[in-house]
Amino acid sequence: MRANPKAVCVTRFRPDCKQLLFLYQGGAGMFFMPPMRFLRLSGANKRNLSLLRDPGANYYHGELHPDCPNIEATIEQQRQIKRQCTQATEFYCTGTSMGGYASMLFGHYLAADIVYAFGAQSQISSTLVDPALTIPPEHRDISLLLANWNGRTRYRMYYSEGFEPDRSAAQRMANCPGVELFPVPGKTHNVFKEINASKLLRDLFPPLEESTWWSR
Amino acid sequence: MESVKFAETLIEELSIIVDTPVGVDTDLLGDAGLDSFGTMQIIVFLEEQYGIQVLDDQFNINDFASVATIARWALPMISAIEFIE
């Protein structure tokens, strides 16, 4: 699959890789760092990946692209990518801030194996999005969505323990099935600011199987 | 791979990605506003169009500074593929 003109989604498939990563950009189009840096540090660039962004910063609920006019169509577009990546048997979602929210939302619908949400919001207030948008209650409050667990997805929420908005957003999710909280040292929204981001991200995703062509 | 043809194809694709006219020496990262997302689009385009594999951890953002810069590393890779095939 190739990138679409003026795309909001770019996919890159690796024929021999069984992992598919869905990555969701934050409101500033970042992952608390430039996307390419995040891809490199996490090793995402060595796996099948789908990178989605929301230029309108409406928590992925507005029109992202003519092919994704609303959240239902965007969910279906993400499912389509999952179906197209036939070599993948493991599915992961990740993102930061608004993208962290999106990773939980789409992770639920995609029945991902693990969601890695960094500094994620767990509620959308009307001030954060276009007020004209109709957003279902279970999307406005992601704890309502995750209360109806899909039976598969594990949600790992990383947040700066000294940053109250993110701590509150994570702690209110603590009793949702499948959710684990990972407080990290820091006082800002940027989870990676006061920790060794390279070390955390390097070991984030399960290791790829060793390439064995030389040892057969 | 003929360099002129490669440049024309890349310019056409880049003009769509950054939504602005692009020339061989256009400052993609500055004037044209090519961001990380667009860089990933370019990598996917090159891989799917020419069958090369871009090991992007070996590159830095300045390798995507202009069409000429991209051609400098991409054309040898494409030529190597064509030689093998």
Query: pLDDT for B1-58, tens place per residue?
Result: 688 999 999 999 999 999 899 999 999 999 999 988 899 999 999 999 999 888 767 7
Q: Which residues does chain B have within 8 Å of residue A65's beta carbon, measured at their own beta carbons?
A: none
Nearest chain A CA: its distance from B4 CA (Å): 22
Interface mutation vs chain B, best among A1, A6, A12, A21, most B CBs within 10 Å: A12
- With CA atoms as reference, the chain A residue closest to B45 would be A2
- Rounded CA separation B13/A10 (Å): 14
pLDDT at residue B83 greater than cutoff 80:
no
Best of B17, B28, B35, B40 to mutate (most A CBs within 10 Å, chain A): B40
Q: How far is CA A54 from CA A59, A102, A115, A116, B21, in A?
A: 7, 10, 19, 19, 24
* Residue in chain B nearest A10 by alpha carbon: B41
Within 13 Å of residue A142, how many CA atoms lie on the same side as its CB? 28
Lowest mean pLDDT among A42-56, A142-156, A167-181, B44-58: B44-58
* pTM, full prediction: 0.90
Is residue A212 scored above 50 in pLDDT? Answer: no
- A106-133 tens-digit pLDDT: 999 999 999 999 999 999 988 889 999 9
What ipTM score was computed for the predicted complex, to two decimals?
0.81
Pairing between β-strand A90-96 and β-strand A114-118 as defined by DSSP bridges: parallel
Q: How far apart are CA A52 and CA B27, in angstroms?
A: 25
